[in-house]
């Protein structure tokens, strides 16, 4: 884990997300890319929209550069002053948010992209034009959604949440998470959300498969937990309230567990209850 990319819209919530990302970089001993995208007019579909005059656009870029510099200073001031001091590289370009962020992540070999979400809706507004959903689908790196209410503190427990209907397909994601947890010195909990549809034989098979996986890696802080809950959001809430996890991770694939939540109301309901970030990792 060497590089974190923090996508910022320079809004009120941006300071909180940037501080969280900086603290995470300190824990990982990683560098930080602070990326702001100046949306091109075509990205905001409005009837009658015309291109901005060049001088106005340049003025806006200069103003944003100043705000980006202020945010960088705030991050350093609010970080752990006696801990590791990450390098911060500011990136400011005009274009489509998903394109610019992915290009910056690729060019700088970012390991994770961080974006901020707002209170009461973990999958709503990011930057101008509500790009969070687009970022989830388009991101070429694992995507960390940071709620406005989250507290910046060391990550000690990560829960990988799934119904484990296709455990073989999730092994790659779990292996990535093991490496992430090792870098943080954190515990990884493989949380099997059982909504009452799984028979004991199936649960036992999944447990055996995951325990075998755990035994093959050299990170000792990995465990398996069955969370019985008729409602997914309640199961996730239990992980935060009772298992005291600091982050919840999901595998993202078509028709997968995260997609079921994303296309329904589970994540939005859970967002009001969970003061923890959500890490979305796409399967290859």
What's 167's domain CATH number? 3.40.50.620
Is residue 133 one of the residues assigned to a domain? yes
Which one, of 177, 196, 179, 194, lies nearest residue 245 by Cα?
Answer: 177
Percent of residues, the chain, with pLDDT higher than 70: 73
pLDDT of residue 179: 87
* Whether pLDDT at 119 is above 60: no
129 and 170 both lie in a single domain = no
Domain region containing 172 = 157-282
* Whether pLDDT at 249 is above 80: yes
Cα 215 from Cα 109, distance rounded (Å): 30
* Whether pLDDT at 123 is above 60: no
135 and 87 both lie in a single domain = yes
**Are the CB atoms for 93 and 122 separated by under 8 Å?**
no
Cα 248 from Cα 227, distance rounded (Å): 14
Query: Which tokens sit at 91?
Result: 């990136």
Q: Which residue has the higher pLDDT, 44 or 174?
A: 174
Is residue 207 one of the residues assigned to a domain? yes
* Whether pLDDT at 44 is above 70: no
Domain boundary pick from 146, 177, 210: 146
SS (H, E, C) 40-76: CHHHCCCCCCCCCCHHHHHHHHHHHHHHHHHHHHHHH
**Are the CB atoms for 141 and 229 separated by under 8 Å?**
no
Lowest mean pLDDT, pick from 40-44, 125-129, 193-197: 125-129
Domain count, the chain: 2
Is residue 151 one of the residues assigned to a domain? no
Give residue 218's pLDDT band: very low, low, confident or very high (50, 70, 90).
Answer: low
164 and 93 both lie in a single domain = no
81 and 169 both lie in a single domain = no
Domain boundary pick from 119, 146, 173: 146
Is residue 256 one of the residues assigned to a domain? yes
* Whether pLDDT at 267 is above 60: no
pLDDT averaged over every residue in the chain: 79
79 and 31 both lie in a single domain = yes
pLDDT of residue 42: 47
Give residue 127's pLDDT band: very low, low, confident or very high (50, 70, 90).
Answer: very low
**Are the CB atoms for 39 and 60 separated by under 8 Å?**
no
Domain boundary pick from 146, 174, 208: 146
Cα 63 from Cα 27, distance rounded (Å): 31
Is residue 152 one of the residues assigned to a domain? no
């Amino acid at each position: 884990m060497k590089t974190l990319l923090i996508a910022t819209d320079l809004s009120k919530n941006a300071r909180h997300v940037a501080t969280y990302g900086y603290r995470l970089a300190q824990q990982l001993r990683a560098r930080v890319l602070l990326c702001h995208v100046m949306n091109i007019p075509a990205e905001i579909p409005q009837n009658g929209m015309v291109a901005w005059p060049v001088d106005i656009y340049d003025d806006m870029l200069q103003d944003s550069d100043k705000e980006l510099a202020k945010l960088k200073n705030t991050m350093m001031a609010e970080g752990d002053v006696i801990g590791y001091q990450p390098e911060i590289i500011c990136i400011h370009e005009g274009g489509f948010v998903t394109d610019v962020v992915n290009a910056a992540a690729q060019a700088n070999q970012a390991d994770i992209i961080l974006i901020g979400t707002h209170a009461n809706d973990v999958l709503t507004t990011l930057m101008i034009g509500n790009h969070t959903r687009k970022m989830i689908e388009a991101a070429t790196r694992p995507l960390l959604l940071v709620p406005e209410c989250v507290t910046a503190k060391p990550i000690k427990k990560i829960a990988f949440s799934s119904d484990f209907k296709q455990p073989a397909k999730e092994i790659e994601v779990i292996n990535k998470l093991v490496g992430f947890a090792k870098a943080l010195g954190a515990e990884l909990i493989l949380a099997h959300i059982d909504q009452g549809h799984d028979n004991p034989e199936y649960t036992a098979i999944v447990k055996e498969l995951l325990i075998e996986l755990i035994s093959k890696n050299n990170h000792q802080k990995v465990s398996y937990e069955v969370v019985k809950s008729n409602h997914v959001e309640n199961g996730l809430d239990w992980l935060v309230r009772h298992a005291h996890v600091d982050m919840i991770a999901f595998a993202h694939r078509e028709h997968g567990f995260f997609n079921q939540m994303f296309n329904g109301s589970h994540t939005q309901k859970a967002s009001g209850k969970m003061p923890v970030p959500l890490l979305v990792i796409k399967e290859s």
